[in-house]
Amino acid sequence: MVRRWISALLGAAFAFLFFVSPGQAQTSLVFGVHPFKSADELAKMFRPLIDYLQKESGAAITFRTAKDYDAALAALVAGEIHISYMGPSLFAIAAEKHAGKIQLLGTAAKGGNPTFKGVIIAKEGAVINSLADLKGKKFAFGDRESTLSCYIPAQMLMEAGVFDGLAEYKFLGSHDNVAKAVGMGMFDAGGIQPSVAEKYVGKGVKVIAESAPVYEHALVVSSLVDAEMAKKLKAAVLGLKDRAVLDAIMKGMSGFVETKPSDYDSLRVLMKAVDAKIPQK
């Protein structure tokens, strides 16, 4: 009896040392994405990247999305998600409010350039060819927390002096929903990302304006991931050159480049101006 008790105690002690040893790398991680597309589309989009990161890091990585942008950020901060692909506005918020809880691995780039632009679309055939033409019109946004379907188009409308002159605006949840609603004539115009606009241009919509450049989507790791694993992940992310992996994330993407949280400061200023204009959820 005593021998069995001693054996059990030693076994528990060894198990404890195994799981808490500082040098023990994590072997199970969760990759998370904010819901800018359907869960099925996102799972397919990021499967090649997850497979690549598994191979390079040696960790088993599972996929997870969230019901909305806030939930995605909360899961990352809580350590329920370890690696996350984040929209620019979501990262700008996280970098300010939770600076010590996330580490920037890299920023998505095309041709080595880690910035992109948002666009505003109108119904094809409509007599709307500039932002000035939107006074008295109905406007569609995507998600309230989205960079390119809320913050950027809202700022564009504010700078053009037409935001307060809109007849109505609503949030439709996603870029595709905005494009479809504008194409069907339910709204006169809407804000979306260029890659989505490309799918619908000539099929019911047209682009009438584009924004100034902002920094792209960020790939981050939770501070709860041990230093050894975080180092492996960063090296893998910055060294990613596989076209199949990159094109699955974004057509024409050249890779991830090293950036700083401060690169998103101007976006944060823009967001605060929009937040003062549009009530948050």
pTM greater than 0.85: no
Joined together, the tokens standing for residue 147 give 């960079």
What is 118-212's CATH superfamily? Periplasmic binding protein-like II (3.40.190.10)
Q: What is the pLDDT along the chain (281 residues), one digit of tens a residue?
A: 434 443 443 444 333 333 334 444 568 999 999 888 889 999 999 999 999 999 999 999 999 998 888 899 999 999 999 999 998 888 998 999 998 899 999 999 999 999 989 999 999 999 999 999 999 999 999 999 888 999 999 999 999 999 999 999 999 999 999 999 999 999 999 999 998 999 999 999 999 999 999 999 999 999 999 999 999 999 999 999 999 999 999 888 999 999 999 999 999 999 999 999 998 76
**How high is the pLDDT of residue 100?**
87
Q: What is the DSSP string of 134-189?
A: GTT-EEEES-TT-IIIIIHHHHHHHHTT-GGG-SEEEE-SSHHHHHHHHHTTSSSE
Domain 28-114+216-261 matches domain 118-212 at the CATH topology level? yes
**How high is the pLDDT of residue 25?**
55
**How high is the pLDDT of residue 158?**
97
Residue 85: in which H helix or E strand, if any? strand 83-86
Q: Which CATH class is domain 28-114+216-261?
A: alpha beta
Domain layout of the chain by residue ranges: 28-114+216-261, 118-212
